Amino acid sequence: MSKRRFNAAKSRKAATEKKAKKRTPWQRLRRLKGLLVVAVGLLVVFGTAWFYQAQNAYLRDVSVIGNGSPTVVQLYDQNCSTCRQLDRNAEAAVEQVSTELQFRVLNLNTVSGRQFAQRYQGGQTTLLYFDRTGRHVNTITGVQSTDFLVNSFQQLLGTL
């Protein structure tokens, strides 16, 4: 009886192999096309994730403070709705002022973000201003309008 089971399994395997061999070139091409679509999709997803990770790393880099350009650091908590509003307004203001201004965002939910906030006595919805030498010169708390932020960024740059 075990020989019959073995022969039945062997004949099923042989039938599957015959079906695989009988695929037409068009069927193979269609299958290859499907695999190519999946591969491109994965490349797009992982490429986009890598890009955003690299961009976020750039925005978190506070080692630029004191490198000769004024810097504004936003203390940010993704669970804070006022932090998100301040972030939108600050980014809009940064786009309107000189490219010399460096803008960074530190997440308060990370150890380094909390330590930085404690060092400068900041919390949620806070902007910390640093001059060209890295000296902390101002702290702004609460949601501010884009116009207010443009003026304060220009003052930091010394253009007002």
Whether residue 65 contacts residue 73, with contact meaning beta carbons closer than 8 Å, is answered with yes
Q: What pLDDT is attached to residue 160?
A: 43
Q: What pLDDT is attached to residue 55?
A: 47
pLDDT tens digits, the chain, 160 residues: what are they? 555 555 656 666 666 665 556 667 777 777 777 777 877 777 776 665 554 444 454 456 777 787 888 988 888 888 888 888 888 888 888 888 877 888 888 888 888 888 888 888 888 888 899 988 889 998 888 888 889 888 888 888 885 4
pTM higher than 0.85 for the full model?
Answer: no
Q: What pLDDT is attached to residue 54?
A: 44
- 3-state secondary structure at position 27: helix
Is 63-157 in CATH node 3.30.530.20?
no
Using alpha carbons, list the distances in angstroms from residue 50 to 3, 56, 63, 114, 150.
Answer: 55, 10, 22, 25, 31
Domain definitions of the chain by residue range: 2-59, 63-157
